[in-house]
């Protein structure tokens, strides 16, 4: 029962065209008959209308998409982070024209190719009637015929000297269903993954540490080697502590200027661990968050703790140690006593406010 697929193979345009006419006399419409050839023969050769194509929407979508990308690059990105160069505006016209041209051209080309694939419902994941001799110059005519028409179609083929006639059950050539969607989903997923990979690098999720040699600058900066941290008691201090926990230098007057200097110095030396607001909340502090029992946080808050000025001064100068777990480096080298007092004044002002 049911339908059959028939393929007649001809070696020349003329009999093939006659066979096509014979089929249309049998009542087959143009869309029921498929002609296959090894070169693009005009549809007129077979007395048929040229098949329609639908490239315009794809090309327009591509051009529009390209224009959007160009708009993003020429208008949005400079306004996200405005930087002025060479006395030019943020979006000068001449370079914009180049961007629009290139991206629209790119969009049209890419979208047209996608249009080519989609109109052809590529990829073809099912069997289809075909004969490998077609690429050797033969012309194949494919018809889907009901069982009762089978003989008459074959008669038409035979009347025009076919090279071969193939016949098969149409059930073997069912249209593509869900497999088609699965394929496009895989393609889309693959494309999305490929798009994400560069982001892993640009967001440093994949870090290549050895490659940035600028990090290892040979300039000896604050808190860098080769001066190694010495044991606390051995640190030579400008104006040494004569009595334990008691600074030898006079505390600077607690003025606004001193506090502001202290705030600046705090930002340079302390904030990286103790947090910008001196509350122990910093990126670095989170990394020291190790032992719940021994300590509530990795790094203690400073603001509002009611610490004595002398204690703060000597701690900054000599550093601080908790077992062998956490250590604050001594700042005797980096800060003069005056600068240390500035920080003390700033920190105590935080406490005073609360």
Partner 1 sequence: MAENEHKWTMIVDLDKCTGCQACVIACHAENNVPIASENEVIRGRGQHWIRIERYWEGSFPEIQARFIPVFCQQCNNAPCEPVCPTYASYHSDEEHLNVQVYNRCVGTRYCGNNCPYKVRVFNWYQPQWDEPLNQQLNPDVSVREAGVMEKCTFCIQRIRRGVEAAHLEGRDVADGEVVPACVQACPANVFTFGDLYDPESEVSKRLPDQRQAKLLEHLGTEPAVYYLKGGESHVGE
Partner 2 sequence: MLESKTSTGPYWEQPAPDDEELLHQVEHLRDEHLLLDPRPPAENNALMLATMRRTGPFFWLMVLGLGGFVAALFAVWITQMIYGLGITGLNRSVMWGPYIANLVYFIGIGHAGTFISAALRLMRMDFRRPIARAAETVTLFGLAMAALFPLIHVGRIWKIYYMFPIPNMRQLWPNWRSPLLWDATAITAYMLGSTLFMFAALIPDLAMARDHTTGWRHKLYGALSFGWRGTEAEWRRLEKLADILCYVIIPVMFSVHTIVSWDFAMAVQPGWHSTIFGPFFIIGALFSGVAAVIMCMIIIRKAMGLGYFIREEHFNAMGIFLMILSIAWTYFYFNEWIVTWYGNLPAEKAILNMLTGDLGPFFYLMLFANIIVPLGTLWSKRVRTSLPAMFVIAMFVQIGMYLERILIIPGFLSRPELPFNWVNYTPHWPEITITIATFAFLGFLYILWSRVAPIIPLWEVHEGQALQTTRRMGRAALPTRTEGHH
Least Cβ distance, residue 212 to partner 1 (angstroms): 8
Among 47, 57, 77, 267, contact with partner 2 (rule: CB under 8 A): 77
Number of residues engaging partner 1 in binding (CB under 8 A): 20
214 binds partner 1 (CB under 8 A): yes
Q: What is the dihedral of CA 15, 17, 20, 26, to 10 degrees?
A: -70
- CA-to-CA dists, residue 17 to 134, 142, 247, angstroms: 16, 13, 109
Cβ-based neighbours of 6, under 8 Å, separated by 6 or more: 142, 143, 144, 145, 150, 153, 154, 157, 165, 166, 167
88 binds partner 1 (CB under 8 A): yes
Among 83, 205, 208, 243, contact with partner 1 (rule: CB under 8 A): 83
Q: Are 204 and 167 in contact (CB under 8 A)?
A: no
**How far apart (Å, rounded) are the C-alpha atoms in residues 241 and 261?**
24
3-class DSSP assignment, residue 289: coil
Q: Are 27 and 74 in contact (CB under 8 A)?
A: no
Site residues for partner 2, 206-265, by CB under 8 A, read 208, 211-212
Whichever of 207 and 250 has its CB closer to partner 2, that residue is 207
Least Cβ distance, residue 255 to partner 2 (angstroms): 39
53 binds partner 2 (CB under 8 A): yes
178 binds partner 1 (CB under 8 A): no
Q: Are 138 and 186 in contact (CB under 8 A)?
A: no
Which does residue 241 bind out of partner 1, partner 2, none, counting CB within 5 to 8 angstroms by kind? Answer: none
Instruction: For 127-162, give the DSSP string.
Output: -----GGGGGT-EEEEEEEEGGGHHHHHHHHHTT--
Which does residue 252 bind out of partner 2, partner 1, none, counting CB within 5 to 8 angstroms by kind? Answer: none
192 binds partner 1 (CB under 8 A): no
Least Cβ distance, residue 72 to partner 1 (angstroms): 17
- CA-to-CA dists, residue 309 to 304, 314, 330, angstroms: 13, 9, 17
Least Cβ distance, residue 123 to partner 2 (angstroms): 6
Site string for partner 2, 160-199 (x = CB under 8 A): --------------------------------------xx
228 binds partner 1 (CB under 8 A): no
Site residues for partner 1, 24-63, by CB under 8 A, read none
Q: Are 144 and 175 in contact (CB under 8 A)?
A: no
Site residues for partner 2, 6-25, by CB under 8 A, read 11-14
Whichever of 259 and 318 has its CB closer to partner 1, that residue is 259
Which does residue 87 bind out of partner 2, partner 1, none, counting CB within 5 to 8 angstroms by kind? Answer: partner 1
**How far apart (Å, rounded) are the C-alpha atoms in residues 288 and 286?**
5
Residue of 157, 194, 193 lying closest to 22 (CA atoms): 157
210 binds partner 1 (CB under 8 A): no
Cβ-based neighbours of 304, under 8 Å, separated by 6 or more: 350, 351, 354
Instruction: Note the residues at the interface with partner 1 (CB under 8 A).
Output: 83-88, 212-214, 217-222, 226, 257, 260-261, 264
């Amino acid at each position: 029962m049911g339908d059959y697929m028939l393929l007649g193979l001809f070696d020349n345009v003329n009999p093939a065209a006659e066979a096509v006419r014979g089929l249309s006399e049998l009542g087959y419409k143009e869309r029921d008959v498929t002609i296959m050839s090894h070169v693009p023969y005009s549809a007129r050769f077979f007395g048929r209308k040229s098949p329609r194509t639908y490239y315009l929407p794809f090309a327009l979508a591509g051009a529009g998409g390209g224009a959007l990308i160009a708009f993003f690059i020429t208008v949005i990105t400079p306004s996200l982070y405005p930087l002025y160069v060479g006395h030019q505006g943020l979006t000068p016209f001449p370079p914009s024209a180049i961007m629009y041209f290139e991206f629209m051209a790119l969009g049209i080309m890419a979208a047209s190719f996608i249009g080519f694939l989609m109109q052809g419902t590529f990829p073809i994941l099912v069997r289809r009637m075909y004969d490998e001799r077609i690429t050797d110059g033969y012309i194949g005519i494919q018809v889907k015929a009901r069982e009762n028409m089978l003989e008459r179609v074959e008669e038409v083929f035979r009347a025009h000297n076919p090279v071969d006639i193939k016949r098969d059950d149409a059930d073997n050539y069912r249209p593509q269903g869900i497999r088609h969607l699965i394929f496009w989903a895989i393609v889309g997923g693959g494309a999305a993954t490929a798009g994400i990979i560069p982001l892993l690098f640009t967001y440093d999720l994949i870090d290549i540490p050895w490659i940035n040699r600028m990090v290892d600058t040979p300039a000896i900066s604050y808190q860098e080697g080769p001066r190694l941290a010495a044991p606390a008691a051995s640190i030579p201090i400008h104006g040494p502590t004569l009595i334990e926990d008691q600074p030898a230098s006079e505390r600077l007057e607690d003025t606004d200027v001193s506090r502001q200097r202290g705030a600046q110095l705090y930002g340079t030396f302390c904030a990286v661990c103790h947090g910008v607001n001196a509350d122990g909340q910093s990126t670095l502090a989170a990394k020291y968050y190790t032992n719940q029992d021994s300590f509530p946080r990795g790094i203690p808050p400073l603001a509002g703790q009611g610490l004595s000025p002398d204690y703060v001064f000597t701690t900054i100068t000599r550093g601080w140690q908790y077992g062998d777990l956490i250590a604050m480096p001594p700042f005797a080298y980096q800060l003069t006593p005056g600068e240390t007092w500035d920080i003390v004044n700033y920190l105590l002002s935080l406490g005073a406010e609360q």
